[in-house]
A and B are shown apart, each in its own frame.
Chain A
C-alpha cells in the first residue's frame, strides 16, 4: 500500500529515470521500500546498473540486494535467462543462504514446475519451519495454479501460526470475497479491526462486505462502520460517504419508508459532504451525483 504523496514521488522518479535523467538506484530503492510491483522498469534499469561494472561496484554490499531485486523482476517478466544468471551469482556468493534458496525455488516456480518448486520449499521449511516468505510462496503457488481451495487451507494454517500478519488476513478476506463467501470475509475483517482498530481501510472493507450480504441488521452495522470510516478519515473518504447514502437507502426500502429516527441526519450530512466535495473537485460530475442521490431518495 502506497499513499498518494509516495506515489507521486515514485512516479516522478520513474519518469526521470525513464528519460535518462539519472537517479536509477534511488528509484530502485524506492520500489523496494514501497514494495510496489514495477517489474518491467526494475528489470530495465536494474540490469543497466548490473551490466556496468563501475556503477555496480559503487553500490558496495547493496550490489547483492540489487541482484536479488532484478532476479525477481526478471522472473515476473518471464525473462528466465536473466533471472538464472542473477541467482547463479548469488549462489556463488552465498552458498548456504536460505534467502538464495528461496530464489532458487522461485526460479523453478517461474518456469512453471510447481511440483519441483514445492519440493524445494518443503526442504527449506524443514530447517526453517517459521520462514514466513516460504509459507507465503506456497500459498501464492496454489493461487497461481488456480487451486483456490488449497490456497485457503494453506492461508488458514499460516494464520494459525502468524496470527498478527495483517496482510495475510487481508489476502484471505479478498479471496473469500472473490468466491462470494462473504460471511468468511467479514470474519477476516473483524479480526483485522480488532487488531488495528484505527485503520479506516478495514472499517470500510467490513462495511462493504456487510452491505453486500444485505438484510436489515447487516445494513445497520454497515452504516455504523461507514460512519467510523468517515470519522477516522476526517470526512475525506468518498466511498464511505457514498456507503452511508447507499445503506440508508437500502434500509429505507426494507423498512418501507418507515422513517427511522436515528440516522436521517447522518445521511443528509453525507450527501451534503459529497455535494460539496464534487462541487470543488469534480464539478462536471455534480449533475450525476445529484441524480444519484435523487435515485437513492435522499
Chain B
C-alpha cells in the first residue's frame, strides 16, 4: 500500500485547519480529519475538527474529543480518517513524535490514515503565487510501519483539494481575519458554550 493512496480534502476542511493554525501563531496546533472512503478508493476528507493549541502531548482532552467526534460524525456515516498538525516554530518542517503517535493510534482503526502537516513556507508564499495545491505536506504509513511523506516524485500517493479555487478563498479569509472565529476543542473545554464544530463558520 502507500503508493496508490489518494486523498481529496474538501475546501471547508482545508481552510478550517489552516485558519486554526493562523489563530495560534505562536503555538503548536492539532486536529482531527473525518471523512469516508469514496469511489475508486479515494479517501474523501470532508471535515476537520480543530482540537488543541496547548499541551498537545496530553491524553485527556484528546480522548474526549475522539469519543465525541466519532459519536457526532458516525451518525453521518463518516469516521476519523486522519490527523493534522501545525508545528510551533516557523522553520520546523518535521513531523514530530507526538503527531506520529496520534497518527499511529488512528492508523490502528483506519489503516489508510493520513497525517497532514502544515507547511509554513508554502503558506507564506501563498499570496505571491497562484498555486492550486494545498499548503500542507502529508504522510502515510508505509509497509514498514513508518510515517513517510507522500506526494514526492517517487509516488507515495497524492493529496488534492476538491474545489480548485480553495486557495483564493483561503487568502480572502486570511485578509478578513476570519481565523479569529475558529473555535477548537480546547476553547470548548474552557467555555462549553463555544462550539468546536464551528457551525456558522462557512455560512
Say if the beta carbon of A178 comes within 8 Å of chain B. Answer: yes
| Count of interface residues, chain B, beta-carbon cutoff 8 Å | 30
Residue in contact with A292 in the complex, picked from B61, B71, B89, B195, CB distance below 8 Å: B71
A285 at the interface (CB under 8 A from B): yes
Asked if A242 is an interface residue, CB under 8 A from chain B, the answer is yes
Interface of A is mostly: helix
Given contacts A246-B64, A295-B67, contact A238 B55 (CB under 8 A): no
Q: Which residues of B contact A296 (CB under 8 A)?
A: 67
Q: Once the chains bind, are B59 and A211 in contact (CB under 8 Å)?
A: yes
Q: Report yes or no: B195 in contact with A209, Cβ–Cβ below 8 A.
A: no
On whether A209 and B192 interact (CB within 8 A), knowing A180-B97, A246-B63, A288-B68, the answer reads no
B28 within 8 A of A: yes
Which residues of the other chain, A, contact B195 by a CB distance below 8 angstroms?
Answer: 282, 284-285
The answer to whether B58 has its CB under 8 Å from any CB of chain A is yes
Closest chain B CB from A5 CB (angstroms): 13
Report the Cα distance A158→B201, complex, angstroms: 44
Measured between beta carbons, the chain B residues less than 8 angstroms from A122 are none
What B residues does A37 contact at CB under 8 A? 26
Given contacts A277-B192, A288-B68, contact A174 B60 (CB under 8 A): no
Which B residue sits closest to A242, measured CB to CB? B64
- Which of A143, A205, A292 sits near B68, CB closer than 8 Å? A292
Contact B57 A177 (CB under 8 A): yes
Interchain CA distance A177-B97 in the complex, whole Å: 11
Contacts of A285 in B (CB 8 A): 192, 195
Cα A271 to Cα B68 in complex, Å, equals 15
B189 within 8 A of A: yes
Given contacts A144-B89, A180-B98, A278-B192, contact A292 B58 (CB under 8 A): no
* B92, CB-defined interface residue at 8 Å: yes
Which residues in A have their C-beta under 8 angstroms from that of B64? Answer: 242, 246, 292
Pick the residue among A178, A209, A242, A291 that contacts B98 (CB under 8 A): A178
User: Are A208 and B60 within 8 A (Cβ)?
Assistant: yes
Bound complex: CA A281 to CA B191 (Å): 9
A282 nearest CB neighbor, chain B only: B192
| Contact B57 A242, beta carbon cutoff 8 Å | no
Contacting A295 at CB < 8 Å: which of B71, B72, B92, B191? B71
Q: Is B193 an interface residue (CB 8 A)?
A: yes
Q: Does the CB pair B98–A243 fall under 8 Å? A: no
